[in-house]
């Protein structure tokens, strides 16, 4: 792709003050929530032994992924500012851009398959509650997490081996995924990162919802007939797993909401031939929604799981006391 092709495909748009305030402002706000929030989630699980359960290990790994997204994704988006060549050209160099795009894509795949793994744990917990502790162990969970991280990095690195670097305009093209790869790359990426995980998760959730409803009705019936005396350890376990399943459902819902606009944008930009309408505000909004997903997850953990709420509340209280004591000293 040469300069003429790029200029004919994308109409240049002069960014005004409103765009930069919106673009930078939203990223700064989300970053200020993302980084401390995910650090708090990671610290909460690490310091509380009773939270180091297999499903929570996935949550910690997902929080690490979101934390890295909060660092890498803003830098990748700064590289899009083609009207600020002092910033876009250094970040647009092939070596730098390759690293940024590889990590952005890898972190997206890692996030997707963490949700798949968490969905599988919910499926086993609801469908096979008596075998849950046999199938879902700390060892198998750590092995799965390692496999997800390793394979995701490998897939994204391999994608670059099918790209002809000679087509990349060194120092001229801003580091934007849609300006680098072809339709084939985008389709492969979306199948691996979005459509296949969603197919697996939705298939499992159809089964989970059916069984969860029947189990919830049985528990409710026992409570009405016999009172709380009927709630044995098995029923209590199922009740907790149902709550965790609701949390994962919310995670999945926000994930779909975050990725749908960007997926539509990708297909439009890649398949468009010439003189494509490329609104900076639309492009920025799609990226902001995707970035927001990494910060929203923090509130989902804290909002849906009581043990997370309690532990995070204690951490915030301790931090407030420390800050107040430091302020009094000065």
| Structure tokens, 133 | 């502790």
Which sign does the torsion angle of CA 17, 18, 24, 25 carry? positive
Rounded CA separation 287/246 (Å)? 27
CA proximity to 113, closest of 208, 200, 241, 209: 200
Note the Cα 300 to chain centre separation in Å: 12
Q: For residues 101 and 175, is the Cβ–Cβ distance under 8 A?
A: yes
pTM: 0.79
Residues 6+ apart with CB under 8 A from 232: none
Radius of gyration of the chain measured on its C-alpha atoms: 23
Q: Give pLDDT tens digits along the chain (330 positions).
A: 444 444 444 444 445 678 778 887 888 899 988 888 888 888 888 887 777 888 888 888 999 999 999 999 888 888 777 667 777 777 777 778 888 888 888 998 998 899 899 889 888 887 887 788 888 888 999 999 999 999 998 888 887 766 655 555 544 556 777 666 667 777 888 888 888 998 998 888 888 777 766 766 666 666 566 555 545 555 555 556 566 667 677 777 888 888 888 778 777 776 776 666 667 788 788 888 888 888 887 777 666 666 667 776 777 777 667 666 665 665
Which residues, in sequence order, are bridge partners of residue 10?
276
Which residues, in sequence order, are bridge partners of residue 288?
none
| Structure tokens, 37 | 């929030």
Q: Which CATH superfamily is domain 3-329 in?
A: Rhodopsin 7-helix transmembrane proteins (1.20.1070.10)
Residues 6+ apart with CB under 8 A from 321: none
What percent helix, strand, coil does the chain show, rounded to 5? 85, 0, 15
């Amino acid at each position: 792709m040469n300069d003429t092709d790029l200029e004919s495909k994308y109409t240049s748009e002069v960014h005004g003050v409103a765009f930069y305030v919106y673009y930078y402002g939203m990223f700064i706000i989300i970053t200020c929530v993302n980084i401390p929030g995910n650090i708090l989630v990671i610290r909460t699980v690490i310091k509380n032994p009773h939270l180091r359960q297999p499903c929570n290990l996935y949550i910690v790994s997902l929080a690490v992924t979101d934390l890295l997204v909060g660092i890498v994704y803003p830098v990748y988006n700064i590289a899009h500012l083609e009207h600020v060549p002092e910033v876009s050209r250094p970040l647009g160099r092939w070596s730098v851009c390759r690293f940024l795009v590889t990590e952005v894509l890898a972190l997206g795949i890692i996030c997707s398959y963490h949700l798949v793994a968490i969905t599988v744990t919910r499926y086993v917990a609801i469908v096979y509650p008596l075998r849950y502790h046999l199938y879902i162990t700390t060892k198998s969970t750590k092995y799965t997490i390692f496999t997800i991280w390793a394979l995701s990095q490998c897939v994204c690195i391999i994608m670059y081996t099918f790209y002809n670097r000679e087509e990349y305009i060194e120092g001229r093209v801003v580091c934007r995924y849609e300006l680098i790869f072809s339709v084939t790359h985008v389709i492969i990426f979306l199948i691996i990162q979005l459509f296949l995980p969603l197919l697996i998760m939705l298939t499992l959730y159809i089964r989970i919802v059916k069984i969860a409803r029947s189990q919830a009705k049985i528990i409710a019936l026992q409570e009405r007939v016999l009172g709380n005396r009927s709630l044995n350890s098995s029923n209590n376990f199922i009740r907790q797993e149902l709550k965790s399943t609701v949390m994962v459902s919310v995670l999945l819902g926000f994930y779909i909401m975050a990725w749908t606009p960007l997926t539509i944008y990708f297909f439009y930009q890649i398949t468009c031939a010439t003189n494509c309408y490329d609104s900076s505000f639309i492009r920025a909004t799609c990226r902001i929604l995707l970035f927001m997903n990494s910060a929203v997850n923090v509130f989902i953990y804290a909002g849906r799981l009581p043990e997370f709420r309690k532990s995070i509340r204690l951490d915030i209280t301790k931090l407030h006391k420390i800050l107040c004591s430091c302020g009094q000293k000065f």
